[in-house]
Amino acid sequence: MIQDSGIASLLRKNIRLLKPYASARNEYSGDARIFLDANENYRGFTSHQVNRYPDPLQRELKEKLAALRGCTPHQIFLGNGSDEAIDLIIRAFAEPGSDKAVIMPPTYGVYQVFADLNDIETIRMPLQEDFSLDLEGLSILFEHRDFAGDLKLLFVCSPNNPTGNAFPHGDILRLVNSFPGIVVIDEAYQDFHDGPSNLSLIEKYSNVIVLQTFSKAWGMAGARVGMAYGSPEIIRVLNTIKYPYNVSVLSQQAALEALDHAEEVVREIDVIREAREKLSRSLAELPYVEKVYPSEANFLLVKTIHAAGLCSSLKQQGIIIRNREHEYRCSGCVRITVGSSEENRMLLDALQSITLEKERT
Ligand code: PMP
């Protein structure tokens, strides 16, 4: 937890001193009759209205989203997927070559890749055998005198990819209260989780950023719109360092339209959750499946006797699942997304036709 109210002391020095680029549409945002400020073409040539640059701060979309999530537009950053937010958060807070980010494998691989890309060392504090947080190990780490000053970021993915479990709110709160830097809580799969979101933490804790996305429950992976929620101070920093027009006109329109279908989305989430449980039961009956892990997301982690063999057999039948056997504590595991009822039925038909032998090691 940050003692003083500001986050300035945690920012990278060059980011603290950065003079932001102001795009034409940053400088003027009202209703004018004629826009001759951004070197656009006055006409377009497709059926989409894309000849004008988008609103760089996506104000209409943020207003609507803020109303849904019970926060203010100034607490929302919108990016080219939440992946963009992950990259920007690392770039804003971690000094290359010296600062460190804590990740808890097995987890979403992008944290490691973007940390590497930004020359940020990662400290890996694995989840326990049952995929719960190693709170004791983390607390020792946070107080370790060789690290404590350099620990800038902690990534907590809940529900976690690829394990599917969500961490108890109380455990996350403990981390927020004890971590010396920014805690990023990635809630990409929260819509599928029965338990409460951690979003309310941004009101009280200036070191918390919560990530969500339109890619999963909202059915918009192709549009690339993700959210980071945090204090207005953090959001201002992310807006300063993002690409000037990072969310396209088409993507903003699609997200605005999706928000009009919020009730339908909620109904579909129920359908997916029910299908997940049904699929889980059917998978558990297959002779080569050793365990189906409980899931609060829209996928299942499944331990098999031969992950690579299963993936290639399914591939021959035109069905692609994800081999996760090389992830920490995931030997023999595959990750399967819950599809439509038709897709799930075809998957199960294919799985029942497959015979697998235990992988030789
Ligand atoms: N976080 C997690 C845990 C994910 O699994 C993903 C995508 N697979 C993302 C973030 C990125 O989502 P997007 O960039 O599509 O918003």
Ligand 1 atom closest to the Cα of residue 160 is 3
Tell how far the Cα of 104 is from the centroid of ligand 1, in angstroms: 16
The minimum-distance atom of ligand 1 relative to the CA of 214 is: 16
Q: Does pLDDT of 3 surpass 70?
A: no
Calculate how far, in angstroms, residue 200's C-alpha sits from the geometric centre of ligand 1: 21
Is 184 in a helix, a strand, or coil?
strand
| Residue 186 CB–ligand 1 contact under 6 Å | yes
Q: What is the pLDDT of residue 360?
A: 75
| Domain range 4-260, CATH class | alpha beta
| For the chain, counts of helices (H) and of strands (E) | 13, 11
Binding site membership of 191 for ligand 1 (Cβ less than 6 Å): no
Domain extents for the chain?
Answer: 4-260, 263-352
| pLDDT digits 0-9 by tens, 268-297 | 999 999 999 999 999 999 999 999 999 999
Percent of the chain at pLDDT above 90?
90
Rounded CA separation 293/280 (Å)? 8
- pTM, entire model: 0.96
Task: Report pLDDT digits (tens) over 179-190.
Answer: 999 999 999 999
Inform me whether the pLDDT recorded for 6 exceeds 80: no
Domain 263-352 part of CATH 3.90.1150.10: yes
- Cα dihedral 211, 214, 215, 219 sign: positive
pLDDT at 119 over 90: yes
- 64-112 tens-digit pLDDT: 999 999 999 999 999 999 999 999 999 999 999 999 999 999 999 999 9
Mean per-residue pLDDT for 217-236?
A: 98
Minimum-distance ligand 1 atom for the alpha carbon of 86? 10
Using DSSP, state whether 123 is helix, strand or coil: strand
Secondary structure element (H or E) that encloses residue 303, with its range: strand 299-304
pLDDT digits over 297-352, tens only? 999 999 999 999 999 999 999 999 999 999 999 999 999 999 999 999 999 999 99
Separation CA 20–CA 350 (nearest Å): 54
Q: Tell me what pLDDT residue 148 has.
A: 67
Which helix (H) or strand (E) covers residue 82, if one does? Answer: helix 82-93
Mean pLDDT of the chain: 95
Q: Which atom of ligand 1 is nearest to the CA of 224?
A: 15
Residue where the block lists tokens 């933490």: 201
* 322/358 Cα distance (integer angstroms): 18
Q: How far apart are CA 27 and CA 13, in angstroms?
A: 26
What pLDDT is stored for residue 22 in this prediction?
A: 86
The model's pLDDT over 322-333, given as tens digits with 9 standing for 90+, comes to 999 999 999 999
pLDDT at 329: 97
Per-residue confidence (pLDDT) for residue 84, from 0 to 100: 98
Is the CB of 166 within 6 Å of ligand 1?
no
Q: DSSP secondary-structure letter at 148?
A: G
